[in-house]
C-alpha cells in the first residue's frame, strides 16, 4: 500500500466533515450528560469503619447517610419518592440526614415531603441537622417538616442512644453559615451533663470543614454534606467550585484523628447550577465495626 499517495479532495472533505461533526457533538453530548443524566444517576457507596471505642451492642449497625436534596431546585417530589424507596431497600439501622432538605421554599411540597419522610424506618432512629439552604427556606418550617416526618432535629445538642444495654451519643450542630452553631452545647460535657463523656459519639454537621474544631471534642464519626463534591470535577484539576467550609474536606472519607473519621457525602440534589460531571449524587452506607477487646 502506498502511504505517500496524496489524499483526494473528496476524501479530505469527508474526513474534515467527520472531524467537525465530532468537535461539535462532544460539547453537546457532554452538556446533555452532565445536565440530564449524571444528576439523576445516584451512586451508593459502602464502607465499614472499625472502632475500639464502639460498644459491642452496636457492632455491624448500618447507618444510611443522605444529604443536600434541595427540593424544588431541579429536584421534584417524584424523585424524592424514588430516593425514599431506595433508602428503604437498604434496611438501615439508623438514618442520618445532614441538611439542605429544601432549596428556597418549603410551601409547595411540605405535606408530600412529610408523607414520604414518614415512610423511612430505622430501629435506632432518624436524625437530622439543618443546612444553610434550610435557613433560606425557613428553619422553623423545615424543622416542622422533618419532625413531622419522624426525624429528630439536633440543633446544638446531643442525645443518648441506648441499645442492648449499651449507649452511644448522637450529636448535631446548627448550621454554621446561617444558623447559630455552638460546639460546646452540642458536644462538650457542659452541654450534655447527663451523658457519659466517654461514650462513642456520632456527630452531624452540615459543613464538613468543622471537623477541624470538632476534633477538639470527643467525636468518633462526623457526617457532613454541603460540598456536593464540587458538582463538576475536571480530570487532573478536581472540583471546579466548592462552597465555604467545604474546601478542606470536599468528598469521601477522612481520618481526622485516632478513632475519629469524617465522611463528606456528595449530596443528592444540585445547587447553583443544575449540572453534575464526574461527581454523581450519593447515598452512603456506613457499617460500624466494634473491635472492642
**Residues lying near Fe ion in the complex (CB under 5 A):** 68, 100, 271
Which three three-digit cell numbers place residue 140? 422553623
- Looking at the Cβ atoms of 68 and 72, the one nearer to Fe ion is 68
Closer to Fe ion by Cβ: residue 68 or 251 = 68
Minimum distance of Fe ion from residue 92's CB (angstroms):
21
Q: Name the residue nearer to Fe ion (CB basis): 87 or 168.
A: 87
> Which residues are within 8 A (CB) of 111 and not within 5 positions of it... i.e. 6 or more apart?
none
Closest listed residue to residue 99, CA positions, set 38, 182, 191, 179: 179
Give the DSSP H/E element, type plus range, for residue 160: strand 157-163
Which C-beta is closer to Fe ion: that of 178 or that of 292? 178
Least distance in angstroms from the C-beta of 198 to Fe ion:
34
Contact assessment for residue 204 and residue 223, using Cβ atoms and an 8 Å cutoff: yes
| Residue 206 CB, nearest approach to Fe ion (Å) | 8
Q: What residues pair up with 290 in beta bridges, in sequence order?
A: 51
Cell of 64: 444510611
Q: Supply φ then ψ for residue 66, to 5 degrees.
A: -135, 160
Q: How far is the CB of 281 from Fe ion (least distance, A)?
A: 11
User: What is residue 15's three-state secondary structure?
Assistant: helix
Looking at beta carbons only, is 200 or 277 nearer to Fe ion? 277
Cell of 127: 436524625
Q: How many helices (H) and strands (E) does the chain have?
A: 7, 14
Q: How far is the CB of 228 from Fe ion (least distance, A)?
A: 6
Q: Per the structure block, which three cell numbers stand in for 25?
A: 457533538
CB of 223 to Fe ion, least distance (A): 14
Nearer to Fe ion, 108 or 272 (CB): 272
Amino acid at each position: 500500500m502506498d502511504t505517500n499517495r496524496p489524499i483526494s479532495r473528496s476524501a479530505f472533505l469527508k474526513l474534515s466533515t467527520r472531524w467537525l461533526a465530532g468537535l461539535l457533538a462532544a460539547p453537546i453530548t457532554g452538556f446533555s450528560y452532565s445536565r440530564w443524566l449524571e444528576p439523576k444517576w445516584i451512586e451508593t457507596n459502602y464502607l465499614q469503619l472499625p472502632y475500639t471505642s464502639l460498644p459491642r451492642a452496636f457492632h455491624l449497625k448500618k447507618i444510611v447517610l443522605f444529604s443536600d436534596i434541595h427540593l424544588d431546585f431541579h429536584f421534584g417530589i417524584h424523585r424524592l419518592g424514588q430516593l425514599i424507596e431506595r433508602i428503604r431497600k437498604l434496611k438501615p439501622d439508623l438514618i442520618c440526614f445532614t441538611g439542605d432538605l429544601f432549596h428556597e421554599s418549603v410551601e409547595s411540597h411540605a405535606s408530600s415531603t412529610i408523607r414520604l419522610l414518614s415512610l423511612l424506618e430505622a430501629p435506632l432512629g432518624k436524625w437530622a441537622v439543618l443546612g444553610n439552604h434550610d435557613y433560606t427556606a425557613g428553619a422553623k418550617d423545615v424543622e416542622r417538616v422533618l419532625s413531622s416526618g419522624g426525624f429528630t432535629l439536633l440543633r446544638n445538642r446531643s442525645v443518648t442512644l441506648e441499645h442492648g444495654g449499651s449507649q452511644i451519643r448522637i450529636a448535631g450542630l446548627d448550621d454554621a453559615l446561617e444558623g447559630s452553631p455552638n460546639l460546646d452545647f452540642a458536644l462538650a460535657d457542659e452541654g450534655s451533663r447527663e451523658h457519659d463523656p466517654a461514650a462513642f459519639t456520632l456527630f452531624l454537621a452540615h459543613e464538613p470543614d468543622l471537623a477541624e474544631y470538632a476534633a477538639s471534642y470527643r467525636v468518633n464519626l462526623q457526617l457532613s454534606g454541603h460540598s456536593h463534591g464540587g458538582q463538576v470535577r475536571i480530570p487532573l484539576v478536581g472540583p471546579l467550585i466548592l462552597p465555604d467550609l467545604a474546601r478542606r474536606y470536599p468528598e469521601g472519607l477522612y481520618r481526622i484523628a485516632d478513632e475519629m473519621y469524617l465522611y463528606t457525602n456528595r449530596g443528592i440534589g444540585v445547587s447553583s447550577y443544575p449540572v453534575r460531571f464526574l461527581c454523581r449524587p450519593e447515598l452512603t452506607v456506613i457499617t460500624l465495626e466494634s473491635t472492642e477487646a
